[in-house]
Amino acid sequence: MIKHNTPSQLGGQAAFFLIGNVFTLIVGLPLQIYVARSLGASNLGVFSLLEGGVGLISGLIGFGLAPTLVKFLPQHLENKEYSCIRMLVWKGLQILTMSSLIVFASGWVALPWIEEHWPQLQEYHISIALMGLMVPLGILMFYLGQGLRGFQEIRYMVIGSSFLQLTVKAGLAILLLSLGMDLFGYITAVVLSMVVALIWLGVGLLRKIRSMPRDVAKADESVKKSWFNYAKIMYGGSLLSVLTANMDRFLIGLFASVSSVGVLAVIKQLQQLPVMFLQMFLTVAAPMFPAAPARD
C-alpha cells in the first residue's frame, strides 16, 4: 500500500507555489510599471476593457468544467478509475474547444457592430481582433492547468503558468514596445506567451494521461451524472461573480473615460498582490480533500 505523506506533499508544493508567486511579483510588478509608462493611461485602459470582455466571455462559456477536474481527478486516481479520468478530461476539452472557437468566430462577425456602438474602439480594430484569441487560449489554459492541479502536479503547473509564461511575456513586451508597436505589440506579447504556456500545460497533461494504465472499465451513468451535477453547481454559482467581476471597468469606461480605466487597472493590480499569496495554500490543498475520502 502506498503511504501518503500529506504534510510533506503539502509543504513541498506550497513552497514551490510560493516561489512562483515571488517570481511573479519580482518580474511582473516592474513589467506592469514599464507597460503602463509605455502605453499610457489611454492604451492601458483600452487593454483593460478588452481584457474585462475576454474574462466575461470566458466565464460565461466555462460551464464549471475546470473545477470539476479538481474535484474528481484525485478521487478517480485513488480508486484507479483511469477510464473515467480519460473520459472526463477529453469530453471537457472538446466542449471548451468547440464553444470557445465558436465565440471567437462570432466575435469577428460582430466586430463591425461593436465598433459602430463604441466609436472609441474603432482605431483599435486589429488589436481587438488579435485579443479575441485570448478567449480560447485563456479557457484552455485554465482547464489544462486545473487538470494538472487535479493530478497534484503543482510544480509543472506553476512552471508553465508563472515562470514560462511571464518570462516570454516580459521579453516580448519589452522588445515590441521598444520598437514602437504600442498596444498591438503588447497584445501580441500576451497572446504569444499564452500560446507557449498552453503548449507546455497541454504536453504535461497529455503525459500524465498516457502514463496511466489502460483499463477496459467505462464510466457508468451515475459517475457521469455526478460530473454533470457538480459542474452545473459550480457554473451556476460562478455566474454572478462573472457578471459583476469587471463591471467597474465597463462603468468607468462608459461614464468617465478610457484613461480612467487605465488608472483603475494599475490600482487593481496592486490590490491583488496580497490575494495572490492567500490563494497559495488553497490551490495546493484543495485537490487533496477529494483524494482523502477515496482512501478512507
What is the spatial distance between Cα 117 and Cα 73, in angstroms, rounded to a whole number? 45
pLDDT reported for residue 294: 64
pLDDT reported for residue 1: 38
Low-confidence residues in the chain, pLDDT < 50: 1-3
pLDDT reported for residue 271: 72
- Those residues whose C-beta lies under 8 Å from the C-beta of residue 22, and which sit 6 or more positions away, are none
pLDDT reported for residue 216: 66
What is the spatial distance between Cα 23 and Cα 196, in angstroms, rounded to a whole number? 18
pLDDT reported for residue 143: 95
Is the dihedral angle over the CA atoms 145, 146, 150, 155 positive or is it negative?
positive
- Please state, in angstroms and as integers, the Cα–Cα distance from residue 112 to each residue in 55, 101, 129, following that order: 21, 19, 11
pLDDT reported for residue 217: 67
What is the spatial distance between Cα 159 and Cα 164, in angstroms, rounded to a whole number? 6
